[in-house]
Amino acid sequence: MKSSQTFINDIEMKLTDISKQIQQLQKENDFNEINLNYLTNQLTKITEELNDPPNISIEHGSYSFINEISIISLLKPKWDKWKQNAITVAGGNEEGEELDQLHSPHGIFIDKNKNIFIADFGNDRIVEWKHNAKEGQIIAGGHDEGDRIDQLNGPIDVIVDQENHSIIIADQVNRRVIQWLNQNQQILIHNFDCYGLAMDKHGFLYVNDYMKNEVRRWKMGEYNNEGIVVAGGNGEGDQLNQLDCPSFIFVDEEQSVYVSDSNNHRVMKWRKDAKEGRVVAGGNGGGRNLNQLSNPQGIFVDDLGQIYVADSGNHRIMRWCEGKEEGEIIVGGNGQGNQSNQLIGPAGLSFADEGNLYVADHWNRRIQKFEIICE
């Protein structure tokens, strides 16, 4: 239903645009053969689209039709291809603690204004690089490593609550999740071996514990309890109800939790209230074939359910369509190195609204932007 509505809305927008052009030409009394041919071609294209609408197929798993329904849209994704040579937008000036340097960047977050928030792991700080800035500014930590309320020790992921403009940090070595709001700090979760963070549209905070091999969920403001296990929680292992050293996480509109199950070289999807997950990328042992991953890290899922994952051990970013046996390389995959088409151990990844891809190029100490190709 959502896919059909998207198609209809797109057609309506195109017809509205043509209508406005015709009105403008009438107003200016400027009809000519070139204009008429152009408008005719546009209407012909729309007619062809209406006569050949997008197809949708419904597939079901082998166990239970009701429990396992996957809707696979054949709509062309709004994001499809990216330039293979990236632009360095943060760091890239060797390892260091100056404001134009990074040290082992890990998780990243891109806000609506294209500002980049970086978990600068090796420098024990969170830095924000304004759009097109030449250097960053420290917005959390940066007072040497430590466990004081104003210090960080190995921050590994960061998200921004854009409702109240607070920053939530997975302060890994200190085993805590901490919130910074206008330089005021509050520890949200104690004694937790945190790694990845995510927040859903309902205001729930998700954090994974890479030692207990589980993901837990808290309602914002209610951190005086242990949270609810929403993925894993059944010990270390490779069964469908288990995880082994989960790294980054992503939560979609339906509150399904996607987990980069690092040591199992796979990405798992846990539907809301599910007792076990399903493999949606990798799961064929660590390796570089198109049906494999190696130590997956950052993860993002688009509106069509396509999974983008930082295939860290293979120095590439891959895209997987749920239900497919293989993924595809979208950037990287040219061996490890520091050239503009290479990565070394990519960690966090994120997308800006227009589709540009940002990657924390961990061992190159830089953030790379791969620009989308508009067709």
Number of H helices, E strands in the chain: 2, 26
Report the percent of the chain where pLDDT is more than 70: 92
Residue 204 has pLDDT above 60, yes or no: yes
Q: Largest alpha-carbon pair distance within the chain?
A: 74
From-to residues of CATH 2.120.10.30 in the chain: 87-370
Residue 37 has pLDDT above 80, yes or no: no
Q: For the ranges 4-13, 127-136, 202-211, 269-278, which has the lowest average pLDDT?
A: 4-13
Q: For the ranges 37-41, 312-316, 364-368, which has the lowest average pLDDT?
A: 37-41
Residue 19 has pLDDT above 90, yes or no: no
Indicate whether this model's pTM tops 0.85: no
**E strand or H helix at 41, and its extent?**
helix 33-51
pLDDT digits (tens, 9 = 90+) for 278-304: 999 999 999 999 999 999 999 999 988
Residue 62 has pLDDT above 60, yes or no: no
pLDDT digits (tens, 9 = 90+) for 166-183: 999 999 999 999 999 988
The confidence band for 160, taking pLDDT boundaries of 50, 70 and 90, is very high
Which position has the token pair 């309902």? 202
Residue 93 has pLDDT above 70, yes or no: yes
CA-CA-CA-CA torsion sign (214, 219, 225, 228): negative
349 closest CA partner among 292, 305, 311: 311
pLDDT digits (tens, 9 = 90+) for 141-154: 999 999 999 999 99
The confidence band for 6, taking pLDDT boundaries of 50, 70 and 90, is confident
The confidence band for 17, taking pLDDT boundaries of 50, 70 and 90, is confident
Residue 75 has pLDDT above 70, yes or no: no
Residue 67 has pLDDT above 60, yes or no: no
pLDDT digits (tens, 9 = 90+) for 223-245: 888 999 999 999 999 999 999 99
In sequence order, which residues have a C-beta less than 8 Å from that of residue 23 and are 6 or more positions away? none
Residue 347 has pLDDT above 70, yes or no: yes
Find the mean pLDDT for residues 253-279: 96
Find the mean pLDDT for residues 100-126: 96
What is the full DSSP assignment across 96-161?
Answer: -SSTT-BSSEEEEEE-TT--EEEEEGGGTEEEEE-TT-SS-EEEEE-S-B--STT-BSSEEEEEEE
Question: Bigger pLDDT: 24 or 298?
Answer: 298
Which residues is 143 bridged to in the sheet? Answer: none
The confidence band for 326, taking pLDDT boundaries of 50, 70 and 90, is very high
Report how far residue 250's alpha carbon sits from residue 260's, in angstroms, rounded to the nearest whole number: 9
Which position has the token pair 């190709």? 373
The CATH-assigned architecture of domain 87-370 is: 6 Propeller (2.120)
